[in-house]
Every structure is written in structure tokens, then in C-alpha cells.
Structure 1
Amino acid sequence: MARNRTQRGHATTGTPSTRPPTIDADDVYRLLADEQRRALLAVLLERDGEMTLDDLRSRLADRVSDERNAGIRLHHVHLPKLEDAGLLTYDPETHVVTPTETADAVRSLV
């Protein structure tokens, strides 16, 4: 059976799977090396569901050391990186951020 590529680059066989998508361990460690990305995932996973970008920003303000640029970096750097890795989804129209099953799989690391 030929493999297809999804939008995020994860290989699929065209049939639905009950297993969450996987992410390479090296990629996880690279992503989580950044303090703000760890805090972002921790906040999302504590909430155990979706949250607005504004709510996420306000909760992160207490957790990160560089508050001044945190909002800009969140929107332009961290959300896209974590979404590309399949750890969250972000809807730019509604400004809603949602963790994925893959994020739950790395919960113990954040």
C-alpha cells in the first residue's frame, strides 16, 4: 500500500489509526529546550483542553522570564513550531489553541 504525506509531513497509509501520531525523541527535546515552549505546553496540558490565545498569554506571563517579548514570540515562533510538530493546533481566526494527543504523550517532560 502506498504511503501518503499529510499536511504536517507525517506518513499515513490512508486508513484511520487509533494510535496518536508519533514525534521523534530528538525533535521533542529540541522543542522543549526552550523555556517558553515548555511553559506553553504545561499550561495547555493543565487546562486539558482548548484555550484562547489571550488566556494562554496571561497564564504564561507568570511562568516565563522574558515577559517583554513573550507575546510576540508566542504567536510568531512557538505556536508555529509546536503546531508543525503536531503537538497543538492553532486557529488564527478564532485564536484558539488546542493540545493534541501527541502533546499528551510528552506530558511527563514538561
Structure 2
Amino acid sequence: MLSKPPLADDAGNPFDLLGSRRRRVLLARVSEADGAVPLDWLAGQLAADGAEQSTEAVTESERERAKVRLHHVDIPPLSAAGLVRYDPQRRVVSSDDLPLEGQEWLDMPVVEALEDWNGR
């Protein structure tokens, strides 16, 4: 079994890390996948969720804004915490061995789950 990496010092506090619904949706979508998730697909998912619309209704402009935000704001702290891996060259996000999966990131008390997973 793989060991779980401790939260990096720059990962921040779990409340800050997971207080954002966007980040929890990101974790939900990535944890449901059977491998690496393309950044473009993930941006469409998050833009649709934020606008409460279907992914087909997301404009290219909304998708591009979501990609920039993912790359610069949402993915770095999740990566620093060891929750996701991001390959900026391939523009894919992946994860494994997360304490929750899919919709659980949106329904359950995620901070407690993260602390349990991290061995605190």
C-alpha cells in the first residue's frame, strides 16, 4: 500500500484548502476518473457547475477562464497538499488513494476526512 504524503507546509489549512466548492468539485471529478483527467475537460465541468448549466452550454471564453483559474489558483494548493498531481506539460490532473470519492467530496465533512487520511 502506498504511504500517504503529509500535508506540505505551504498546503495551508484544510478549511482554506477545501472551503471552496470549486476545489471540492475538482476533487470529485478527478476521483471519479479512471486515470488522468484533461485540464480542458475539467475546466468545462467546473465552469458548468459554477454557472449551474450543462457542459454543452459552457462557452469557450468560460472554459478558458476556468482553465486559467485551475492552473493558477485551484490546482497548486491541492497539489501541494498531495491530493492531486498536475502535469502542466501534458495538461492533465490525476489522483489516487483519496479518502473520499466522487460526490462524497460535496456531501461529507471533507475536512475531517482529510485529517483522518493525513494521519493527524
Bucket of the pairwise TM-score, normalised by the shorter protein = 0.5 to 0.7
Q: What stretches of structure 2 of length at least 5 have no aligned partner?
A: 53-57, 107-120
1:72 corresponds to which letter in structure 2? V
2:3 corresponds to which residue?
A: 19
Q: What's the Cα RMSD here? A: 2.7
Distance 2:2 2:68 in 1: 36
1:56 corresponds to which residue?
A: 42
Q: Secondary structure at the match of 1:63?
A: helix
1:46 CA drift (Å) = 1.6
Q: Secondary structure at the match of 1:64?
A: helix
Q: Rg bigger for which structure?
A: 1
Q: What stretches of structure 1 of length at least 5 have no aligned partner?
A: 1-16
Contact 2:29 2:42 in 1 (8 A): yes
2:5 corresponds to which letter in structure 1? P
Q: Which has the higher contact order (CA 8 A, sep 6+)?
A: 2
2:27 corresponds to which residue?
A: 41
CA deviation map 1:42-64 (0-9, x unaligned): 11112242111111111222212
- Which piece of structure 1 moves more, 87-96 or 61-70? 61-70
Report percent identity of matched pairs.
35
Change (3 A) 1:54 1:96: same
Contact 1:86 1:100 in 2 (8 A): no
Number of equivalenced pairs: 91
Q: Secondary structure at the match of 2:86?
A: strand
Contact 1:79 1:90 in 2 (8 A): yes
